[in-house]
Amino acid sequence: MIDREKVWTGSINERALDPQPRAPVGLYDTTLRDGEQTIGVVFSPEDKLEIARALDAAGIDRIEAGFPRVSEDDFRAVELIVAAGLRAEVWGFSRAVKADVDALVELGVRSCVIESPISDGKLEALGVSRETMLERIRGAVSFATEHGIRVAFFGVDSSRASLDFFDEAYSAAVEAGAAEVVVVDTLGIATPEAAALLVSRALDRLDVPVHWHGHDDFGLGTSAAIAAVQAGATWVQGTVNGMGERAGNADVLEVALALEALYGIPTRLDLTRARSVSQLVAERAGTPLPPWKAVTGEALFTRESGAVAAQFHDPPAIEPYASELVGAERGIVLGKKSGIDSIRISLERLGLDVDPELQPELLDAVKRLGTERRGLVSDADFRRLVRKHAASTGGANEER
C-alpha cells in the first residue's frame, strides 16, 4: 500500500464512491507478448529477461513470458524467464491449438492463457462455426490441464460477443478445466459500465477468478480496468507504458496508481519503481514517451510556469500526489513562461548570486531567449545570461 499521507486528492472521491473492495488486486503484465505487438517493436530474448526481472523486482504478480510458437526467439525468451527463478508467476500464451500447448509443456510453463475468438464477427472472418470453436476450446483447455497447466481462458473480442455465446464459451472452458477466465476488450470499445457488466455477468455464472484485459482505442483503458475491479475482477492485465497494437493496452502502472491513490484498493506493485521500469521498457522498445504521460512522463513534476513556481515550496498546492510515490524528482525549468520565483529558485539551485532588484531584468532575458528558441533555457544558457547580465550592470554575480 502507498503512503496515504502523500496523496493529496482531498475528500471528493471518498464522498462520490460507494465502499470499495479492499482485497489486493493482482497485476498481470503482458508487455512481453501483447506489448511487443506494438508496430516496429522487437525485444530480444535478453531484453525480455531483463524486463521480466525488472517487473518482478517491482512486485508484478504475474508475467506473461510470451507465445513460444511465434518464433525461435520467443521460445528462447520463455525458456530464459522460466529458468530465472522469479518470485512472480510466469505465464505462457497459447491459442486453442494442441501444438501451442505442447510448446508450453516442453518449456515447463505451469500456467497459461488459452485464447479463442468468441464474437460472431471474428468467427465469421475465420470461417469457423460456434460449435467448432467450442470443440477447440474444450480440447485445448482439457489437454493443458491434463498436463498440469493452470489455464485462464481468454475470450478474444468478448466485449463484442453475443451474450448467449459469451456465457456458453466461458462455461465450456471452465467445465473443461479452466481455473480462471479473462474478459477481453480486444478493440478497446467497452465503456467502464460495459466492462463492469461483463465482469459481473462472468462472476454470476462462473465460480472462478475473473481477469480484465482491455485496450485503449477510445482512451478508456484505465477507467474500464478500474470499473472491472469495482465489479469484482481480481486480476487486471496490462502493459508497461500502455504498449500494444493500435492504441495499445491499459497501462498497468496507471491502473495500479489509480487503484491505490484514488480508490484505496491495494496492489502489490512498488510504485517507486514505476519510472525505472517504464524507462527500461521504452529504451528497449525504442518508443519514447510523451513528457506529459501519466505516472511516468518527464514533465509531471517539472514546472516552467511562473505562477506555479511561486507555489513550488508547497507541493500539495500544485501536485495531486508526492513525486517520490512514483520514484520521480521535482524541478523548475526556465523558458518563456517563467516568473520571478523561477529565477530565484534557479539561482539558488545553481549557487548563483544576483541582486533581487536586478532579477526582473534577468527574467526578461530568460523569457526572450525561451521565445526565440521556442523551447527551454538550459542551465548553461542561464549561466551565460547571468554572466552577461553581470557584465552589463557592473554587478558581481558569483557562485556561492
The single-letter code of the amino acid at 243 is M
C-alpha cell at position 359 = 532579477
The pLDDT value given to residue 1 = 77
Instruction: Give the pLDDT confidence score for residue 381 in this predicted structure.
Output: 96
Q: How many residues does the chain have?
A: 400
Which pLDDT belongs to residue 398? 53
| CA torsion, ordered 160, 164, 166, 172, to nearest 10 deg | -160
76-81 contacts, C-beta under 8 A, 24 or more apart? 76/45, 77/32, 77/43, 77/44, 77/45, 77/48, 77/49, 78/104, 78/107, 78/109, 79/45, 79/107, 80/45, 80/46, 80/48, 80/49, 81/32, 81/48, 81/49, 81/52
Query: What are the extents of the domains in the chain?
Result: 4-285, 302-393
Q: Which cell numbers in the block locate residue 83? A: 529458468
Return per-residue pLDDT of the chain as tens, 400 residues.
Answer: 788 899 999 989 888 887 766 789 999 999 999 999 999 999 999 999 999 999 999 999 999 999 999 999 999 999 999 999 999 999 999 999 999 999 999 999 999 999 999 999 999 999 999 999 999 999 999 999 999 999 999 999 999 999 999 999 999 999 999 999 999 999 999 999 999 999 999 999 999 999 999 999 999 999 999 999 999 999 999 999 999 999 999 999 999 999 999 999 999 999 999 999 999 999 999 999 999 999 999 999 999 999 999 999 999 999 999 999 999 999 999 999 999 999 999 999 999 999 999 999 999 999 999 999 999 999 999 999 999 887 877 655 555 5
* Positive/negative CA dihedral, 373, 379, 383, 386: positive
The predicted pLDDT at position 192 comes to 98
Residue 389 confidence (pLDDT): 82
CATH architecture for residues 4-285: Alpha-Beta Barrel (3.20)
| pLDDT of 64 | 98
pTM: 0.93
Q: Are strands 62-66 and 89-95 parallel, antiparallel or unpaired?
A: parallel
> Residue 391: what pLDDT?
81
